[in-house]
Amino acid sequence: MSAILPPAERLWWNTPVGRQEIVWVGIALLWCLILFAMMPYWHVYGKQNLSNEAYKIYPAAYETKVKAMVDQYKVREEGPQLIPVVHPPAGSDVYILARLWQWWPILELEKNQTYRLHLSSLDWQHGFSLQPLNINLQVIPGYEMVVTMTPDTSGEYTIVCNEYCGIMHHTMLGKIFVKE
């Protein structure tokens, strides 16, 4: 039999299957069942999925919310672009906006305090990747993503855009400081 010619026997499913093939099909089926069972298990008990919300919003309205937060909680400016650093009170809503090629503003949060982090874009689709943690979200214009987070380790965290957004994509970095 070859791949070009049709099989000699038209009822191919009546052809006996070798023992080794049956064993490999059984192992593959068992592995599929294990992986299928692990998906809901890790969703519930793995603590790897963010509890997030999404709302439709006009980019200009979101920009107004972010500017209001910056005006209220700004503590200093950092970097050559003088990006404002905001220190909102614990338990509050904090906002970060993405725009070509910048995360704005820089957040200064308190350790072991819960915040609702709002994310949206003013122009293109961006990817929010918080490093060294493995938090990844898509940031899309017209949608406000809300993530409840409680930073449990102090330090400096970097926000990386992991969705190609243009020629200067590689420079799109932001910061979140977590203080004791």
* 135 neighbors 159 (Cβ within 8 angstroms): no
Tell whether the model's pLDDT for residue 162 goes beyond 60: yes
| Cα within 13 Å of Cα(150), Cβ side | 7
Q: Enter the pTM of the model.
A: 0.73
Q: Say if 88 falls within a structural domain.
A: yes
Beta bridge partners of 119: 96, 145
Which pLDDT value is given to residue 15?
77
Residue predicted with more confidence, 66 or 44: 66
Q: Say if 68 falls within a structural domain.
A: yes
Q: Say if 25 falls within a structural domain.
A: no
- Round the average pLDDT of the chain to a whole number and report it: 88
The CATH number linked to 77 is 2.60.40.420
Q: Say if 2 falls within a structural domain.
A: no
Separation between Cα atoms, residue 127 and residue 134, nearest integer Å: 12
Number of domains in the chain: 1
Q: Say if 38 falls within a structural domain.
A: no
Which pLDDT value is given to residue 2?
58
User: Most confidently modeled of 15-19, 52-56, 144-148?
Assistant: 144-148
Beta bridge partners of 55: 144
Element (H, E) at 179: strand 173-179
Q: Say if 44 falls within a structural domain.
A: no
Q: Say if 117 falls within a structural domain.
A: yes
Question: Tokens 């093939």 correspond to what residue?
Answer: 21
Domain with 57 in it: 52-179
Residue ranges of E strands in the chain: 52-56, 74-78, 83-86, 93-99, 102-104, 106-110, 115-121, 126-131, 135-139, 143-149, 155-161, 173-179
Q: Say if 107 falls within a structural domain.
A: yes
pLDDT in tens, 73-125: 999 998 888 899 999 999 899 999 999 889 999 999 999 999 999 999 999 89
